[in-house]
Structure 1
Amino acid sequence: MRKSRAETAETRKRIIEIAAEEIRRNGIQATGLADVMTKAGLTHGGFYRHFESKDQLVAEACATGMAVVLGATEGSAESATDEDDRKAAFKSIVEQYLSVEHRDNPSAGCFLAGLGSELARADAPTRAASTKAFTDLVELVARHIRRRKPEAARADAVFALSAMIGAITMSRVIDDPAFSESILEDVKRHLDAL
């Protein structure tokens, strides 16, 4: 029996969501299509009914995963305060991103922090999805930085996000738990000056 278009679209969405989680957990290269399809309750052969290649799946998983990060980041800013208090909103973004929970849960975290070196070597569509994600994050963060000129807020947002992404990455690399946590705290403290 053939699936309806709605069922096919739902299956495709489920594959992308599972792939996003697996890619964040294992990396692009270590994530196999067979594993993704098995977790989706499908056969490996069914993959090509939904996607042309693994590269296409990776690009879409990156976009979907980063949309979740953007939503969480915006939610963090909105829950912190009313729209007039940018400092509290920015601080909430930093606290949420540089949390031990984010560090310890890469399968639900930011693609950019977990896969930066792999994304830099990815195909053009995946790099385009990563670029859009970073640009969207910059715009979101810039709206919550207390600068009068948009150019200055954008520059501060680029700096802040680069520091935050690097801090999460290095805090995951470091095998000393106290040092790892101190990286997060040190970057939070420095970003508090923005």
Structure 2
Amino acid sequence: MRYSTEHKLQTREKLIASSGALAKRGGFASTGVADLMKAIGLTGGAFYNHFPCKDDLFSEIVRRELSNSPLARLAARGAERQRLARCLEQYLSLAHLHNAEEGCPLPPLAVEIARADQTVRQEAEHWLVVLHAAWSETLDDPELAWALISQCVGAVVVGRMLASETVQSELLQASRSLVAKVLA
């Protein structure tokens, strides 16, 4: 039975969304094609009707996740310092720390992106450069923009490594204080 083009597009969209959530929750490299397809109720063989290889799916996940992240949307609107500070305060919160699936894709996927093929890394670089350009304009300082991006992503990565919420809170508070001082 042949499926309509619309059905194929809907299935592809479900695959990308589901795979993005799975990747942020448990890792992309460790999740097989069969498991990615099972998550949307299909067999592994159907995967190749949508992507020639798993790396192509990962590249699309990276594009979609980074272009739709809250920080990217903030950058696209041309943020002022105060708005950027409010956004980063939310970014550096326990709610964001404990919600990898719905949060920024950089903390859970950065190591996998670094190990991925050139196409995936180029896609990630493109969106980071877009974010950096917007923050550079807001901050009037390209070096500070890179430093803040790294500080915020790094704080979430380290926070997720920690076992106790008390120490996580201390780490996030220290990062929020640093960001507030820098943006004041």
User: Normalization by structure 2: what TM-score?
Assistant: 0.89
CA distance in 2 between counterparts of 1:174 and 1:138 reads 28
Equivalent AA in structure 1 for residue 105 of structure 2: F
Alignment-derived partner of residue 123 in structure 2:
129
The yes-or-no answer on 1:115 pairing with 2:109 is yes
Q: What are the superposed Cα offsets for residues 4-37 of structure 1, whole Å, 9 maximum, x if unpaired?
A: 2222122111101111110111112222221211
The yes-or-no answer on 1:192 pairing with 2:161 is no
CA distance in 2 between counterparts of 1:172 and 1:135 reads 25
Identical positions, percent? 27
Alignment-derived partner of residue 179 in structure 1:
167
Match of 1:169 among 138, 157, 181: 157
For residue 143 of structure 1, report the CA deviation from its aligned partner. Answer: 3.8
Runs ≥4 in structure 1, deviation > 3 angstroms? 74-79
Q: What are the superposed Cα offsets for residues 86-138 of structure 1, whole Å, 9 maximum, x if unpaired?
A: 22112112112112111101112222211222211111111111112211221
Counterpart secondary structure, 2:51: coil
| C-alpha spacing 1:116/1:23, structure 2 compared with 1 (3 Å) | same
- Is the contact between residue 75 and residue 134 of structure 2 (CA under 8 Å) also seen in structure 1? no
Alignment-derived partner of residue 17 in structure 1:
17
CA distance in 2 between counterparts of 1:134 and 1:17 reads 21
- Is the contact between residue 55 and residue 126 of structure 1 (CA under 8 Å) also seen in structure 2? yes
- Is the contact between residue 66 and residue 72 of structure 2 (CA under 8 Å) also seen in structure 1? no
Equivalent AA in structure 2 for residue 178 of structure 1: T
CA distance in 2 between counterparts of 1:74 and 1:185 reads 23
CA distance in 2 between counterparts of 1:91 and 1:78 reads 16
RMSD across aligned positions (CA): 2.1
CA distance in 1 between counterparts of 2:154 and 2:103 reads 13
Alignment-derived partner of residue 8 in structure 2:
8
Moved more, 127-136 or 15-24: 127-136
Match of 2:148 among 130, 151, 160: 160
| C-alpha spacing 1:75/1:116, structure 2 compared with 1 (3 Å) | closer
- Is the contact between residue 76 and residue 96 of structure 1 (CA under 8 Å) also seen in structure 2? no
Equivalent AA in structure 1 for residue 158 of structure 2: M
